Amino acid sequence: MSTQIAEVRPSPIAGLWYTGNESRLRSQITAYLDNAQIPNLPGEVVAVVSPHAGHRYSGRTAGYAFAAVRGQAPELVVVVSPMHAPHPATLLTTAHRAYATPLGAMPVDRPAVEGLAQLLGQNGHELTPVANDGEHSLEILLPFLQVALAKPFQLLPVMVRSQSPRMAQMLGKALAQTVQGRSCLLVASTDLSHFYPEEVANQLDSEMLRRLKNFDPDDLFAAEHSGKGFACGVGAVAAVLWAARDLGANSVEVLHHSTSADETGDRASVVGYGAAAVLKTV
C-alpha cells in the first residue's frame, strides 16, 4: 500500500537547530544580516556559499553570505547541499511540493526539478526524489533566504552524496542549463573543518577558503584529498562554482570565517564556517 506524501515537507529541525517561533526567528535572522559588514562587491552576485550548522553556531557567518544578496528578488533559488545521511543515490531532491519553516512555505519549482532530472538522465545519472528527509544542511539556510530576499521565490533543492569532481562538474553544468535565462540565485551549503583544535582548524579553513577564492572547483577536491583543507559540502560547492561559471561568474569574494569556538568557548574541538559570494564582474 503506497504512503501519501505530504504536499509540504514537515521540518524535522525547526525548534531544534533554529528557533521555531516565527517572530523570534525573523528578528534573529534580521540581526545576523544587519551585523554583517559586507564590502562593496564589484559585480552581480550569482551565487553564495554559506555554512549550515545550527543558527546559534554558524548564523553569524551565514549572515554575511545572505547580506550579500539582501534585497534581491530572484524568481528561483537553487540550493545545493550535502546529504549527510547514508543513501544509495548520489544526487537527490525533494518529493514534496514545498519546504516549510516557521516563516512560511516555499514552493518547489517542479518544472525546474524535472528539467534538471532530464538533463542528468542524458548523462546517465538520476535525480532521486526523497520524502520526509531529515537533512538539515538545506533547510537551515531557508529562513535566511526568506528574510533577505525581497519577494517570495521558488526552490530547486539538490542534495549531493557524491564526492566526485566529475559528478560535481556534470551537475553544475546541468544546473546552469536548467536556469539559463531565468532570474536565479545559486546557494551552496557547506561547513569547513570538523573537530580539530582551533589553531589547526584555522589553518585548514584558510587553505580551503584560499582555493575557493581562486574559483577552481577541482582544487577544492585536491585540498580534501591531500588533507590540506576540508568541507563536508565540497561536492555541493564545486557544483555551484561550475554552474556559476557557466552563467558568467568570474570571481569569488570570501566574506567571513568563524569557528564554533566563537560561540561555545571550546577551542579544543571546533567546526569551521565560511561565507563567500560568487560574482559576475564587468
User: How does pLDDT run across 178-197, given as a tens digit for each residue?
Assistant: 999 999 999 999 999 999 99
- Secondary structure of residue 275 in the 3-state scheme: strand
Which residue in 205, 237, 204 sits closest to 221, CA to CA? 237
* Strand partners of residue 212: none
45-67: b (≥16 Cβ within 10 Å) or e:
bbbbbbbbbebebbbbbbbbbbb
C-alpha cell at 86: 547514508
- Spatial distance between the Cα atoms of 64 and 146, rounded to a whole number of angstroms: 15
For residue 163, the model assigns a pLDDT of 87
User: Residue 129 in contact with residue 92, Cβ under 8 Å?
Assistant: yes
CATH of segment(s) 43-280:
3.40.830.10
Look up cell 534585497; give the residue.
71
Residue pLDDT, tens place only, 47-62: 999 999 999 999 999 9
Residue 28 pLDDT class (50, 70, 90 cuts): very high
What pTM was estimated for this model as a whole? 0.97
User: Residue 193 in contact with residue 227, Cβ under 8 Å?
Assistant: no
For residue 3, the model assigns a pLDDT of 64
Mean pLDDT value of segment 136-140: 97
C-alpha cell at 176: 546552469
Q: Which amino acid is at 233?
A: G
For residue 92, the model assigns a pLDDT of 98
Residue 282 pLDDT class (50, 70, 90 cuts): confident
> Alpha helix (H) ranges present in 48-151?
55-67, 110-122, 136-139, 142-148
C-alpha cell at 28: 534573529
What percentage of residues in the chain have a pLDDT greater than 70?
99
Mean pLDDT value of segment 18-40: 97
pLDDT surpassing 70 at residue 1: no
Burial class (CB within 10 angstroms; exposed 0-12, middle 13-18, buried 19+) of 75: middle
